[in-house]
Amino acid sequence: MDQARIAATPDAGAEGTPPQPLHPAEMKARVALTLGGGRSFVATARTTPAGLVAAGVLVSSILLSVALLVRVAKPGGR
């Protein structure tokens, strides 16, 4: 576990007590993928609802601007 996260977590040092999340609405995901030949990958992610909303706004603004650029770049697009 990340040392900064352990230091910032209340009751992180208590025996038998799991560390509390840094944000009350924090969401966690973990994926483990095993491929042939003994190769395996593990991916983890942490986010909050506000982070998901921010990512959604960012992606939608990028897609809208790309759509506008494609429309203007076409011959007779204006």
**Rounded to two decimals, what is the model's pTM?**
0.54
User: Can you tell me the distance from the alpha carbon of 52 to that of 66, in angstroms, rounded to the nearest whole number?
Assistant: 21
What are the tens digits of pLDDT across the range 16-45?
676 676 778 889 999 999 998 889 999 999
Q: Please tell me whether residue 13 adopts helix, strand or coil conformation.
A: coil
Confidence of residue 69 (pLDDT cuts 50, 70, 90): very high
Select from 18, 30, 21 the least CA-distant residue to 49: 21
CB of 28 within 8 A of CB of 44? yes
